[in-house]
Structures are given as C-alpha cells and as structure tokens.
C-alpha cells in the first residue's frame, strides 16, 4: 500500500469519512434504548462506565420507572439499589431523580432536544447533550469522549486540541454537517475496537494511509 504522507487536512478528512461511509454505513450507539427518555437515562449512567454494564442495569430501571413522570416520583432509597453496580451510583441516583423532576417542572414532562436546554438538567453536560441531540434528532453536534478525543488526535483530524471542547470545534468545522452525527459513532467504535488506548492495532487498521500517528511511528 502506498502511503500518502503529504495529505492535506481536507484530504485526510475525506479519506477517513469515505472509508467509514463505505465500510461502516450503519454505525450507532451501543446503548440499548427505545425512546429519548431511555437514551437520556442510559447516557447519564454511562459516564465513566461501559455501555455493556449500563445495558445490564437499565432494564430493571425502565421496568420500575417507565417514563419521566414515574422516575420523578422515585426516592433515593428506591432507585439506588438498581444502579448500585455501576460507577458513581450516589451521584447518578441523585442526577436521575433531579433530571426527571426538572423535566416535569420546567419542560412540561417533555425531554428537550436542544443542547442549551439539556445542559440545564442535573447530570447532563455538553457531551451528554451532544449525544442526545445527535442520536435522537441527527443534529450536527459532536460528543467528544475519550475515544473520539484520542482517535481524532492520533489520525490528525484535530491538531493540538487540549480539551474535548477544542476537539469538538475542530471536528464540526471540518466534517460536513449531515455526517457529524454518524462520525461520532465511527470514531467511538474505531477507538473501542481498533485504535485502542494502549496499543493501537495499526496492523489491521485501514486508516493508516491517512494517519499521522502511523506515519510518525513508521518514520522512526
């Protein structure tokens, strides 16, 4: 394979997006959900926790609290045992109850699907709001988690980004609006299974021709 070391940033983006579009056309979240309420609960629970573990936890929560009105009536002592097995159960219990109460009080029981409104909810930061709006409504918002941050930097989609917000702004500036929502999943899945944190599996990665990290290690 001939490596195109002198790719411009535009060409690099095009290469990466073309690859994913052709080979991973159906990328989506690995969290299991049926509606915006279930996705919001799952994403709040997923902070510092694997999707796999969250998926083991949510069925019991959704059975007991099938919607926002039901969750808003939960007490800490009732909800806590259902999420005890995931990370930060204390805070997450408080956040879920607080979130449901605020949706009832301030949003007439309807989960808002805009970033500025979502970030007002307890337990919902910019990353979570970006996930909800891009997954539910395909809004061009890029949630930058640890995988997206690492993979984007290695490939060279981002340059000297020091924070998730800096990475987010660089990515949405360069990715066509209609592809941002799926690009988020492409980068996460690539980071989870190929471009893993400790030892990226470059030998089996089709993005090598566009990857700055690979260029650097092979030039050494």
Which residues are part of the catalytic machinery? 127, 145
Residues constituting the chain: 220
Candidate residues 102, 115, 172, 205; the one interacting with ligand SF4 per rule CB under 6 A = 205
Q: How far is the CB of 16 from ligand SF4 (least distance, A)?
A: 9
Residue 208, interface with ligand SF4 (CB under 6 A)?
A: yes
Give dist(CA 189, CA 119) in Å, integer.
25
Restricting to residues 145-174, which ones interact with ligand SF4 according to CB under 6 A?
154-155
What secondary structure letter does DSSP report for 202?
G
- Residues ≥6 apart with Cβ < 8 Å to 42: 31, 32, 33, 54, 55, 58
Give dist(CA 71, CA 104) in Å, integer.
10
Residue found under tokens 């999420």: 83
Distances (CA, A) of 150 to 14, 100, 167: 19, 33, 10
Candidate residues 41, 111, 183, 195; the one interacting with ligand SF4 per rule CB under 6 A = 195
Candidate residues 78, 138, 194, 218; the one interacting with ligand SF4 per rule CB under 6 A = 194
Q: How far is the CB of 11 from ligand SF4 (least distance, A)?
A: 16
Candidate residues 9, 201, 216, 218; the one interacting with ligand SF4 per rule CB under 6 A = 201
Q: How far is the CB of 171 from ligand SF4 (least distance, A)?
A: 15
- Residues ≥6 apart with Cβ < 8 Å to 110: 103
- Considering Cα of 53, then 56, then 60, then 63, what sign does the dihedral take? positive
Cβ proximity to ligand SF4, 13 vs 214, nearer residue: 214
Residues of the binding site for [4Fe-4S] cluster: 195, 202, 205, 211
The residues binding ligand SF4 (CB under 6 A) are: 154-155, 194-195, 200-202, 205, 207-208, 211, 213-214
């Amino acid at each position: 394979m001939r490596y195109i070391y002198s790719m411009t940033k535009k060409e690099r983006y095009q290469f990466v997006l073309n690859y994913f579009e052709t080979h991973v056309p159906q990328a989506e979240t690995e969290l299991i959900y049926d509606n915006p309420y279930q996705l919001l609960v799952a994403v709040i629970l997923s902070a510092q926790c694997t999707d796999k573990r969250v998926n083991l936890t949510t069925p019991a929560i959704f059975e007991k609290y099938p919607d926002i009105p039901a969750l808003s009536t939960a007490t800490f002592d009732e909800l806590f045992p259902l999420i005890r097995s995931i990370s930060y159960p204390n805070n997450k219990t408080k956040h879920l109850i607080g979130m449901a109460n605020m949706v009832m009080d301030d949003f007439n029981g309807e989960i808002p699907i805009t970033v500025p409104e979502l970030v007002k909810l307890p337990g919902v930061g910019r990353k979570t709001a970006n996930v909800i709006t891009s997954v539910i409504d395909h809004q061009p918002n890029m949630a930058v988690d640890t995988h997206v941050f690492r993979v984007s930097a290695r490939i060279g989609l981002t340059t000297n980004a020091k924070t998730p917000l800096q990475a987010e702004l660089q990515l949405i500036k360069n990715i066509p609006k209609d592809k941002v929502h799926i690009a988020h999943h492409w980068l996460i899945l690539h980071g989870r299974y190929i471009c893993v944190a400790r030892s990226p599996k470059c030998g089996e990665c089709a993005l090598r021709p566009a990857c700055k990290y690979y260029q650097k290690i092979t030039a050494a």
